[in-house]
Chains A and B, each alone.
Chain A
Amino acid sequence: QKEVEQNSGPLSVPEGAIASLNCTYSDRGSQSFFWYRQYSGKSPELIMFIYSNGDKEDGRFTAQLNKASQYVSLLIRDSQPSDSATYLCAQRNFNKFYFGSGTKLNVKP
């Protein structure tokens, strides 16, 4: 069983703060990891992916991967109310994606 675990939240942060979303996975054979954002009633949309240990930055978003600890995180700097959504972590093993249940983020104005 390839499991991806996320805290369901909700995680509440004030506008302008850093939001930190975390994800752990059980399958050491996973090749890459993805963060998706899903607004209520909408489909998941890709934020970023990472496959090497360390940090990867894209605008206000930073993904962090630690394969030894089987841990992936997403940092959102300068959080905005428009960032309020559910964030899904996914691991890719060959052609299959395994999704976590998602963390709901609320950014308060």
Chain B
Amino acid sequence: DAGVIQSPRHEVTEMGQEVTLRCKPISGHDYLFWYRQTMMRGLELLIYFNNNVPIDDSGMPEDRFSAKMPNASFSTLKIQPSEPRDSAVYFCASSPRGVAVFQETQYFGPGTRLLVL
């Protein structure tokens, strides 16, 4: 399996521009998570989906952030408009649904390094 795929790997944009991050989870995984990692705040959960349905978006920082999962193999995280404080590494992760769910871990993608100037 190719693992979780994210694109782009690096993104440099100017303040006010729209940014779209993309993720392809591992085939067969029912859960998809979006995280943001910064030195100051560590790894923060933004939103997660189960079977393409958003379950918990309480970590989404502002209305400027939105996420979609139109099908089982694709998800996007959009920031519009972007601000310098959005600069971070954004990780997508997926997780299978096991019989003993609490034993299941997450598998992370390589991340997108976003820099907003």
Specify which of A46, A92, A97, A102 is in contact with B42 (CB 8 Å cutoff): A102
Is B45 a contact of A96 with CB atoms below 8 Å? yes
Chain-A contact segment, one of B19-27, B71-79, B80-88, B108-116: B108-116
Is B91 a contact of A43 with CB atoms below 8 Å? yes
Chain A residues bordering chain B, tally (CB within 8 A): 21
Most A CB within 10 A of own CB, among B48, B55, B103: B103
**B106 at interface, CB cutoff 8 A:** yes
Q: What is the size category of the interface that chain B forms with chain A? A: 20 to 34
Bound: A69/B103 CA distance, A: 21
Within the complex, the shortest CB–CB distance from A19 to chain B, in Å, comes to 20
Residues of chain A with a CB closer than 8 A to B101's CB? 94-95
Residues of chain B with a CB closer than 8 A to A88's CB? 43
Is A95 a contact of B108 with CB atoms below 8 Å? no
Specify which of A43, A95, A102 is in contact with B55 (CB 8 Å cutoff): A95
Is A42 a contact of B103 with CB atoms below 8 Å? no
Q: Which residue of B lies closest to A32 (CB)?
A: B102
Bound: A45/B108 CA distance, A: 7
Is A95 a contact of B48 with CB atoms below 8 Å? yes
Specify which of A44, A46, A95 is in contact with B43 (CB 8 Å cutoff): A44
Bound: A97/B101 CA distance, A: 12
Contacts A88-B43, A95-B48, A101-B42 given: A43-B110 contact, CB under 8 Å? Answer: yes
**B17 at interface, CB cutoff 8 A:** no
Residues of chain A with a CB closer than 8 A to B91's CB? 43-44
Is A96 a contact of B48 with CB atoms below 8 Å? yes
Residues of chain B with a CB closer than 8 A to A34's CB? 105
Using a CB–CB distance below 8 Å, which chain A residues touch chain B? 31-32, 34, 42-46, 49, 51, 88, 92, 94-102
Using a CB–CB distance below 8 Å, which chain B residues touch chain A? 31, 33, 42-45, 48, 50, 55-56, 91, 101-103, 105-111
List 30 contacting pairs A-B, 8 Å CB cutoff, sorted by A: A31-B102, A32-B103, A42-B110, A43-B108, A43-B109, A43-B110, A44-B91, A44-B108, A45-B108, A46-B105, A46-B106, A46-B107, A49-B103, A49-B105, A51-B102, A51-B103, A88-B43, A92-B102, A95-B55, A95-B56, A96-B45, A96-B56, A97-B33, A97-B45, A99-B42, A99-B43, A100-B42, A101-B42, A102-B42, A102-B43
